[in-house]
Amino acid sequence: MAYQAYLKITGRNLAVDLFRAEARQPEVSLDNTHADSCDGIADAHSDIAELEQLLRFEAILGYIRKPLDREIFRLRFGLHLSPDETVADLALQGQDVTKSQVFRSVERTIRYLGTLPDVRELFEL
- Residue 66 in any domain: the answer is yes
- Residue 75 in any domain: the answer is yes
Contact 103, 75 (CB under 8 A): no
- Residue 10 in any domain: the answer is no
Closest C-alpha among 63, 40, 68, 41 to residue 118: 63
pLDDT of the residue at 57: 86
Q: How many domains does one find in the chain?
A: 1
With a CB cutoff of 8 Å and minimum separation 6, the contacts of 73 are: 60, 61, 64, 105, 106, 109
- Residue 27 in any domain: the answer is no
Q: Which domain holds residue 65?
A: 54-125
Q: pLDDT per position in the chain (125 positions), as tens? A: 566 666 677 767 766 676 676 666 666 555 555 555 455 555 666 778 888 888 888 888 999 999 999 999 999 998 999 999 999 999 999 999 999 999 999 999 999 998 988 887 776 64
- Residue 100 in any domain: the answer is yes
pLDDT of the residue at 125: 46
Q: What is the CATH number of the domain that holds 96?
A: 1.10.10
Q: How far apart are CA 3 and CA 39, in angstroms?
A: 44
- Residue 45 in any domain: the answer is no
pLDDT of the residue at 48: 83
pLDDT of the residue at 5: 66
- Residue 120 in any domain: the answer is yes
58-91 pLDDT, tens digit per residue, is 888 999 999 999 999 999 998 999 999 999 999 9
pLDDT of the residue at 118: 84
Contact 92, 12 (CB under 8 A): yes
